[in-house]
Amino acid sequence: MEMKTKVSFGDGAGLYLYDNKQTTDVPSTPCTESFIDARVYIQDKPRQEWDNLSTIYFVTPTYPRREQVPELTRLAYTLLHVPRIHWIVANDYNACNPYLDTLLNRFGIPFTHLTSPMPERFRNVKSKPRGVSNRRAAMQWLRQRNITTGVLYFGDDDNTYDLKLFSEIRDTKYVSMFPVGLIASYGISGPVVRKGKVVGFLDSWVAGRRWPVDMAGFAVNLAYMSEYPNASMPFKPGYEEDYFLRSIALTLDKIEPKGNNCTEILVWHTQTKNHAREPVKIDHEYLDNRSNLGALFKALAEMGVSDASDDEGQKAIISSNGKSKPLGYYLS
């Protein structure tokens, strides 16, 4: 018989129950942090006006894959235009990734890079609770630093964000909500608003959820969340948003509809198709300083895109004028 999942929101130490078994989170590690805003141009606000704005803590779960660096790069060039933001990048990996440290430092956005590995017991299950350990680690980081002002937003690295979204959520008093485009069969998930109040939700997969919303469809005031020190998120795929919002005792009257009474889509659930990492067959003797190939493949390996191999993968060739030749023809 399948056992129903029971979830408790813990005592602040990250305890949860899953299939009636108690487990603890894998410890997260801060890798690199920067609280200095080194950006030259930020949206339409003069620098002297930034102090009047509340900080948005933008939490991005991520994990090693070929698309990781380009996804984070694309997102960074959106966040570059957002004043008073702190980017928490939580990586599902058990060690700090130096390449990500270098990448995040380069943009000049205040950031924190965390390791946040998924517990091993979930790695081999059919439906993995992706992003949960990352978001839990970010919430733990906020608690450990006693950050109780500002706004928390969970922003995946493969979404598309309108800059207006950040202006809309910055004044969130309790929980603000807004539609998310490209969700499931409806192509949309979001609140139903009548006379300025949220009365229900439009989502093609309800499944008994009290709050059938997408992770990108809400923001939370940190002062309000601090009233619920056990607020958390379960390792239960599909129910992360619902149980998180239950853990902060959300009620309909506390929801603030954004995006022109939820008639505008300011965030899209655009997803990049993941491709398996494959080696390229290339003799390492050609990866010296006689051409750019050595430095190029070193960077590709650090980014997790591809590897050079003497023995495996599709053989590397060079073409010129429409004709392909072995590497030795050009580099010997």
Residue 57: how many other CB atoms lie within 10 Å: 23
Of 234, 231, 197, nearest to 119 by C-alpha is: 234
Rounded Cα distance, 308 and 320, in Å:
22
259 and 191 Cβ atoms separated by less than 8 Å: no
Residue 122, SS3 per DSSP: helix
Measured in residues, the chain has a length of: 332
Helix spans in the chain (H): 68-79, 98-107, 132-144, 164-169, 222-225, 240-247, 259-262, 293-303, 327-331
Rounded Cα distance, 58 and 220, in Å:
11
Rounded Cα distance, 241 and 234, in Å:
9
Helix spans in 124-268 (H): 132-144, 164-169, 222-225, 240-247, 259-262
Give the phi and the psi of residue 252 in degrees, each rounded to 5. -55, -35
270 and 183 Cβ atoms separated by less than 8 Å: no
Q: Which residues are catalytic?
A: 241
